[in-house]
């Protein structure tokens, strides 16, 4: 079945269970079973090689041609036009099979970026990019955070200046997941310095191999180099590359934050943890501790947390779906839960693994994964906004607590920078 045939057939909705049977038959005929069990509980973000990405692209193309890429994306852009419940059904059926693994770049591409493009870009832009994203031809990353902005999402200083019919972008970005393998980037730049910081921002799409773009990988404590820093030296783009509206980039940012903070497909694409922490049960069997009371208690606690987190995600999803303008502060509940529970789960895995999780035979990557997960256990408590930032957002925007004092929210951004320079010179 070609993509065109599939899209023609999916102009009318099919019920979830019929779709599940269709997906199950296709998966069994086209995907390979996993050889190392399920991926539940893993929080590692290993850097991918070009060979890894090439294999993932080929597999993604197979999904696309079979009609199982972008299941809840619109038909006119290469998707199936079905619901997030259909997407969840496919994920459940594919859980024990090898599916495309683009690393962190894949999660960003098909989640926060893809959904933000759908929400804010015109049809011509979407026709250019979404089919190529769904087929694996385009991987995207975010040129967002900056060294001088810290956790202030609106405090970026990368500038975009209009020059006739083009825009010239200069500045630097950091902590971009998978940028060294991405084809395109969503880049946030300041286009008006005379208004408060949230009002003068614009998002642009730019090719990562464009003239003036330099990407460098950052070595992490766990040995991976999945994060990147970027330097933009007079990179040229046009009005056709604008995402959203000029100087209204904060609206795009709000959409992106909903997905970055764990909403995903509005929470419905997550697979329910029906089995007892299968990755930890597998680990206990490997180290011979299935009858150990301490290991069994750790597995039970992990399963309880997994189950609670899953259903919290669905309560968040219900609230987001009921709102015409989903609030990132509501999605922050899911991000906070992940940031709190991921380190606990990583530690519980170490308790189950015992000495075998601390030392293993050379070359045994599977045995070393428990320790790697432990090193990466606090990633979600920091990336895309720290636990403390999530608590602030929930307290102020959901619970109605008084906002923290701010000196720069309503001041023109150029005045904020001038005041900061003046303060620094006085301190110096």
Per-residue pLDDT tens digits for 173-197: 998 988 999 999 999 999 999 999 9
Residue boundaries of the structural domains of the chain: 3-138, 142-251, 252-398
Q: Which of 179-193, 232-246, 336-350, 384-398 has the lowest mean pLDDT?
A: 384-398
Q: Tens digits of per-residue pLDDT, 313-347?
A: 888 877 877 776 777 778 888 889 989 999 999 99
Q: Are strands 213-217 and 184-190 parallel, antiparallel or unpaired?
A: unpaired
User: How many C-beta neighbours within 10 Å does residue 145 have?
Assistant: 20
Cite the active site residues: 260
Tokens of 311: 């259903």
Residue-averaged pLDDT of the chain? 86
- pLDDT-derived band at 263 (thresholds 50, 70, 90) equals low
Pull the structure tokens for residue 315: 């309560």
Distance CA 133, CA 184 (A): 10
Kindly state the DSSP code that residue 77 receives in the 8-state scheme. Answer: G
CA–CA gap between residue 52 and residue 34 (Å, rounded): 16
Which of 325, 142, 147, 346 is CA-nearest to residue 243?
142
Residue indicated by tokens 């057939």 = 9
Please report, rounded to a whole number, the percentage of residues in the chain having pLDDT higher than 90: 51
Angstrom distance (rounded) from CA 5 to CA 412 = 53
286-312 pLDDT per residue, tens: 999 999 999 999 999 999 999 998 888
d(CA 201, CA 198): 7
Q: Provide the 10 A C-beta neighbour count for residue 29.
A: 8
User: At residue 43, does pLDDT exceed 90?
Assistant: no
Mean predicted confidence (pLDDT) in 106-130? 94
Q: How confident is the model at residue 265 (pLDDT cuts 50, 70, 90)?
A: very low
Q: Tell me the sheet residues that pair with 213.
A: 232
Rounded distance, CA 66 to CA 2, Å? Answer: 7
Reported residue count of the chain is 428
Rg, the chain, Cα only: 22
CATH annotation of 3-138: 1.10.540.10
Q: SS3 for 150-213, per residue?
A: CCCCCCCCCEEEEECCEEEEEEEEEEEECHHHCCEEEEEEECCCCCECCCCEEEEEEECCCCCE
Query: Is the Cβ–Cβ distance between 196 and 410 less than 8 Å?
Result: yes
Q: What share of the chain has pLDDT > 70, as a percent?
A: 89
Domain 252-398, CATH number (from 3.10.129.10, 1.10.1740.10, 1.20.140.10, 1.10.510.10): 1.20.140.10
364 CB-contact burial (10 Å; exposed 0-12 / middle 13-18 / buried 19+): exposed
* Residues paired with 169 in a beta bridge: 160, 235
CATH, domain range 142-251? 2.40.110.10
Residues 81-105 have a mean pLDDT of 90
pLDDT of residue 266: 40
147-151-155-156 Cα dihedral, nearest 10 degrees = 40
Per-residue confidence (pLDDT) for residue 421, from 0 to 100: 67
């Amino acid at each position: 079945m070609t993509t065109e045939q599939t899209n023609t057939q999916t102009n009318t909705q099919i019920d979830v269970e019929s779709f599940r049977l269709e997906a199950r038959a296709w998966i069994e005929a086209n995907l390979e079973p996993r050889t190392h069990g399920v991926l539940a509980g893993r929080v590692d973000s290993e850097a991918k090689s070009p060979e890894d990405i090439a294999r993932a692209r080929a597999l993604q193309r197979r999904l696309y041609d079979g009609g199982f890429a972008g299941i809840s994306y619109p038909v006119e852009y290469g998707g199936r036009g079905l619901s997030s419940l259909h997407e969840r059904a496919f994920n459940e059926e594919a859980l024990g099979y090898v599916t495309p693994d683009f690393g962190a770049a894949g999660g960003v591409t098909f989640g926060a970026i893809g959904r933000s493009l759908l929400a804010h870009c015109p049809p011509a832009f979407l026709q250019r990019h979404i089919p190529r994203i769904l087929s694996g031809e385009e991987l995207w990353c975010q040129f967002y955070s900056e060294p001088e902005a810290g956790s202030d999402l609106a405090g970026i200083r990368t500038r975009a200046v209009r020059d006739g019919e083009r825009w010239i972008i200069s500045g630097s970005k950091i902590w971009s997941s998978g940028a060294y393998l991405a084809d395109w980037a969503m880049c946030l730049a300041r286009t008006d310095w005379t208004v408060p910081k949230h009002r003068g921002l614009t998002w642009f799409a730019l090719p990562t191999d464009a003239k003036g773009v330099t990407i460098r990988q950052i070595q992490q404590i766990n040995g991976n180099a999945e994060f990147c820093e970027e330097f933009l030296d007079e990179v040229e783009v046009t009005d056709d590359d604008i995402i959203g509206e000029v100087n209204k980039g904060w609206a795009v940012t709000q959409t992106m934050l909903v997905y970055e903070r764990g909403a995903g497909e509005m929470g419905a694409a997550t697979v329910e943890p029906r089995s007892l922490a299968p990755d930890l049960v597998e680990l206990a069997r490997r180290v011979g501790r299935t009858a150990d009371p301490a290991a069994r208690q750790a597995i039970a606690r992990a399963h309880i947390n997994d189950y609670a987190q899953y259903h919290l995600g669905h309560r968040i999803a219900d609230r987001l779906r009921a709102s015409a303008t989903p609030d990132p502060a509501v999605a922050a509940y899911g991000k906070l839960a992940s940031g709190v529970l991921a380190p606990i789960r990583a530690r519980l895995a170490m308790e189950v693994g015992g000495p075998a999780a601390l030392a293993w035979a050379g070359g045994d990557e599977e045995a070393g994964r428990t320790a790697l997960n432990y090193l990466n256990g606090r990633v979600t408590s920091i990336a895309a906004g720290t636990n403390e930032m999530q608590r602030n957002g929930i307290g102020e925007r959901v619970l109605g607590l008084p906002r923290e004092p701010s000196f720069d929210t309503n001041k023109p951004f150029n005045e904020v920078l001038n005041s900061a320079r003046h303060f620094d010179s006085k301190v110096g």
